[in-house]
Amino acid sequence: MEEVEQATREREAGEAPRATPATDSGAEDRAAVRPVGLGVVGWARWFWRTLTSMRTALILLFLFALGSIPGSIWPQRGVSDAKVAQYFDDSPQLAEWLDRFWLFDVFKAPWFAAIYLLLFLSLIGCVLPRTMTHLRELRRKPPTPPRNLARLPQHASFEAEGLTVEAVAKRLRRMRFRVTTGPDWVAAEKGYLRETGNLLFHVALLGLLIAVGAGALYGYRGNVLVVEGEGFANTVAAYDRYMPGQQVNAESLEPFSFTVKDFQASYIAKGERRGQPLDFQADLGVTDAPGAPERDFALKVNDPLDVNGTLTYLIDHGYAPTFKITDGKGQVAFDGPVPCLVVQPATFTSECVIKVPDAQPEQLGLLVAFLPTTVPMNDQWISVFPGAANPTAQVYGAFAGDLGLKNGRPQSVYELEPTSLKKMKPLVMKADPLAVGKKLDLPNGAGSIEFTGVKEWIALQITHDPGRLPAFVASALAVVGLVLSLTVRRRRVWVRIGSASSEGRREQDRGPVEVGGLTRTEGSDFSEEFAEIVSALNPGVKNDAR
Amino acid sequence: MPVEVDVGLATLSDQLTLATVLLYIVAMIGYALDLGFGRARATARGAKAKPVLATVGSTVGSTVGAGTASVPGAASEDGESAGGERAEGDRVEKAPPAWAVWAAPVAVGLTWLGWAANLTAILTRGWAVGRWPWGNMYEFVVAMCFAAVSAFLFMHIRYRSRFLGAFVTVAAALGLGFSVRYLYVQAGPVVPALNSYWVAIHVSAAIIASGLFIMAGVSGILFLVRKDGAVRLPSREDLERVAHRAIVIGFPIWTFAVIAGALWADKAWGRYWGWDPKEIWAFITWIAYAAYLHARATAGFKGRAAMIVQLIAFACLMFNLVGVNIFLGGLHSYAEVPG
Ligand code: HEM
């Protein structure tokens, strides 16, 4: 921050702002010159100066932006895990190399952390001394006028009999200037809010980083899939996937629960956009805490359920057709919904896997295609619409044998274990689609499968992030600070009354009242406002210029 | 929520968009004639040599002398208003043909007409579908071109930056043409995720900021293209001033747009910041414009270097608009690009 202070001191002297750039770069160079033989302290000081110099901040800012680019090119863990896995499948060697540089975890990478930690260290190093300087300046009076007001960027003079220092000071104060007076002069300054805003902005950025960090440590996130008619209670065990921050313990989860009473999705039925979704809504019965009365809540895409700061979002949906499976012994071995994966989002053509470990004498595994709106096409059946207008379930694979569930390895519920599948007996390879209420008998007396109805599942994300509100407040403050620092101008006005200094006067400056002004904000136009100030100081005088 | 689309209004909107393109092109020709046959502008050095003396408020009865030539109001005026001082460039100019006087006002008038057509096209589209008319890439780009022309017209009223007219109208015409040709989708309802009042807040802010950044970008390109000497292009100082003003206004709006996006993401996706590709590039754009503002405040970084930073930022903005939707995908990709 050296150069800014330097520039401030320079401007203090009442010089025109144009004189500063040379000084700026001088200070910049000095900061970067290596100390020779200064020992540890010297080096530390050099390092700190370099780190907190504006140029370093600029470079770090650029590195920060550059560093986040890989995050948009390669899929990121925690955002799209499936795509990361796909990448490892497609090009394992390249993926391994990329992984060595954390390119699938850019925002958790040590090198990324190094950039932003340095940046924020630099920010602290910049903000602290500047705050001190600013506080000092807030208490200081505007500086005495330079000897020659005519040499300032803005200058005017006029005749005004009987205008006193007090009257000028009063008028300037009314214009919200900060004013000091001398025997025959008035010095005024305003626009301190610019620097205040700038500091607020930078401090707010620090606050934002802290809020985001705290949110990650003390918050958690989890995903769960719930079928219509079923419920969820907020405990770690209930999640399909649970991602806690380092400081979260299982007991601190908000103890709410809900049941999914109904889910409706509506789609455009006609025209070019046929099939485009219009609205999703899940009707929940929510119990905020054990023993509390149940309340109804309509969960929608832009409208999460909020229970004391723990939010439940509707993020996905799909079909869960229900089946009743009778085994070879005539007993009902399975009866319920099967959540299916959506393979074609435009038509919601879905694939379902049913594992029936309880079937006797042999376990059963079934692969079923679910078509919400079925129409025949070239000896096949396809779905033409995402809504369930004509739902069918087509068993395209039924197997008997050992599902391999006992070997202890975790299995995906959406997949029949390929190694087990090889050892199982195929029963059916391609059956005609079943309408709701229809039954397919499996060969060899292995039993039957009945398509009993259609339900839907919803995927929910549940998050608790204590940093949300602080992060929002910090960013709102940052905007306020930014607007102040970009719009407010720092300007000084001096008025000298009488003939105290006639040296340097121009010929056309006939009046004994001289006004000079300058703005300390580069690139802004002060002439208009200056003219207004001059006219406000000189209301009674008739037009005699020119 | 209305599902019915008013086909008549939607068609009217499409026709108005085409009319807008034509009007901008004709206006552009007007500006070009003015640039080509009006007076050439002096170099920055030439202009500096002669101080501009401005007398402010004659009723005040005071003279306000400007020590340097940096009285922006006066210096940014165009040929006809400050013509007397301007003509003395490096070489003596022939007097412009009489009709050339009319090129500029006609061009400005046509730009206003185009602007009105553009606005009406957006409004009718919105009425036709009964929602905010920026739910897909086509609508977004049309609105952005409108914002850029609005920014130009505003700057023209306020700072007399007519010299940019030819370049802003050509940019807007190209943008509109591109969106009509490659991005067009029929008017219709949006997917549930976009069905929120946040569209009005987040996307509008992004559109306004983008419009201002387009102004700055156009100035930046001209700045780099312009050679020294009495060229018919606007002076470097004028270009720098316009770019700086546009960014000083645009940057806080962009900041607001990003924050509003985070708030919306907090409502829709279950987190306020998730490093989605669109978020990453909005962030990069933000950093790049912040770097420009820092560069302006750092000695040795002004002028050309700062302009280059600004154009890098602009490139990031454009990549975020086009590149991310087409190449990178992510959660924002319901911006419907026809395949
Ligand atoms: C390492 C950290 C940083 C340092 C040392 C630093 C330093 C400064 C300084 C000295 C100014 C005042 C410029 C002037 O004289 O007007 C400034 C302004 C500003 N800073 Fe920073 N800054 C840092 C980080 C950031 C970051 C991370 C951002 C946001 C991306 C940022 C955005 C701004 C903006 C928008 C301004 C206003 C520019 C203007 O007044 O024209 N700064 N910063």
Do residue B248 and residue B311 come from a single domain? yes
Mean pLDDT of A436-442: 91
Residue (of A247, A219, A221, A185) closest to A501 by Cα position: A185
The whole-angstrom separation of Cα B254 and Cα B286 is 7
- Residue A166, classed as helix, strand or coil, is helix
Of B64, B192, B275, the CB nearest to A156: B64
For residues A531-542, give the mean pLDDT: 74
Q: Are residues B284 and B220 in the same domain?
A: yes
Could you say which DSSP state residue B335 is in?
Answer: S
**Which tokens sit at A507?**
């010929």
Q: What average pLDDT does range A149-176 have in this prediction?
A: 86
In a domain, B253, yes or no: yes
Query: Residues B162, B251: one domain?
Result: yes
B258 pLDDT band, cuts 50/70/90, is: very high
B336 in a domain, yes or no? no
Tell me, yes or no, whether B217 lies in a domain. Answer: yes
How do residues B59-96 score in pLDDT, each as one tens digit? 333 333 333 333 333 333 333 333 333 333 444 455 66
With 60 as the cut, is the pLDDT of residue B13 above it? yes
Together in a domain, B91 and B105: no
Amino acid at site A338: V
Pair B21, B154 in one domain: yes
Same domain, B137 and B106: yes
B61, A523: Cβ pair inside 8 Å? no
Tell me the pLDDT band of A229, cut-offs 50, 70 and 90.
Answer: very high
pLDDT at position B23? 92
Q: What is the pLDDT of residue B84?
A: 37
- Rounded mean pLDDT of A73-92? 85
Distance, CA of A235 to CA of A413 (rounded, Å): 21
Best residue for ligand 1 mutational test, from B283, B294, B296, B298 (most atoms within 8 Å of Cβ)? B294
B284 contacts in chain A (CB < 8 Å): 65, 68-69
On whether both B70 and B134 belong to a single domain, the answer is: no
Residue B249 domain flag: yes
Q: Do residues B87 and B147 share a domain?
A: no
**Predicted pLDDT at A236:** 92
Please give the single-letter amino acid code of residue A90. D
Mean pLDDT for B220-224 is: 90
Same domain, B80 and B158: no
Question: Which residue type, as a one-letter code, is found at position A121?
Answer: L
User: CB under 8 Å to A335, separation ≥6 — which residues?
Assistant: A322, A323, A324, A325, A452
Percent of chain A with pLDDT over 90: 37
Q: What are phi and psi of A328, to 5 degrees?
A: -60, -25
Residue B187 lies in a domain: yes
- Length reported for chain A: 546
Return the ligand 1 atom nearest residue A121 CA.
1
Q: Does residue B331 have a pLDDT over 80?
A: no
Compute the mean pLDDT over every residue in chain A, rounded to the nearest whole number.
83
B204 and B282 share a domain? yes
Q: Count of H helices and E strands in chain A? A: 12, 24
The answer to whether residue B296 scores a pLDDT higher than 70 is yes
A178/A515 Cα distance (integer angstroms):
16
Among A28-32, A201-205, A371-375, which is the least confidently predicted range? A28-32
Q: Do the domain assignments include residue B297?
A: yes
Q: What are the E-state strand segments in A345-490?
A: 349-356, 364-371, 374-377, 380-383, 392-400, 425-428, 434-435, 439-442, 447-464
**Cross-chain Cβ contact A483/B252 below 8 Å:** yes
Task: Output the pTM of the full model.
Answer: 0.79
Q: Which of A270-279, B60-69, B279-288 has the lowest mean pLDDT?
A: B60-69
* CA distance, residue B323 to nearest chain A CA (Å): 11
The rounded distance, in Å, linking the Cα atoms of A280 and A314 is 9
What's the structural domain count of chain B? 2
Which residue would you say has higher pLDDT here, B42 or A224?
A224
Domain limits for position B212:
7-39+98-327
Q: Mark whether B134 and B197 lie in a shared domain.
A: yes
A291: tokens are 């023993």
Give the minimum alpha-carbon distance from B108 to chain A in angstroms, rounded to a whole number. 25
Ligand 1 nearest atom to the CA of residue A126, by list position: 5
The angle that helices B100-129 and B165-178 make with each other, rounded to 10 degrees, is 30
On whether residue B2 sits in a domain, the answer given is no
What are A69-74's contacts with CB under 8 Å, separation 24+? A69/B280, A69/B284, A70/A103, A70/A106, A71/A106, A71/A107, A71/B275, A71/B280, A72/B275, A72/B277, A72/B280, A72/B281, A72/B324, A72/B328, A72/B330, A73/B328, A74/A98, A74/A103, A74/A104, A74/A106
What is the ipTM score, two decimals?
Answer: 0.78
Q: Indicate if the pLDDT at residue B312 is higher than 60.
A: yes
Report which of B163, B306, B200, B196 is spatially closest to residue B247, judged by C-alpha positions: B306
Residue A67's Cβ-side half-sphere holds a number of Cα atoms within 13 Å equal to 21
Name chain A contacts of B62, Cβ cutoff 8 Å. Answer: 156-158, 511, 534-535, 538, 545
Establish if B302 belongs to a structural domain: yes
Question: Cβ of A153 and B268 within 8 Å?
Answer: no
pLDDT (tens digit per residue) in A382-405: 888 999 989 999 998 899 888 888
B265-286: average pLDDT: 88
Same domain, B65 and B137: no
- CB atoms A479 and B256 under 8 Å: yes
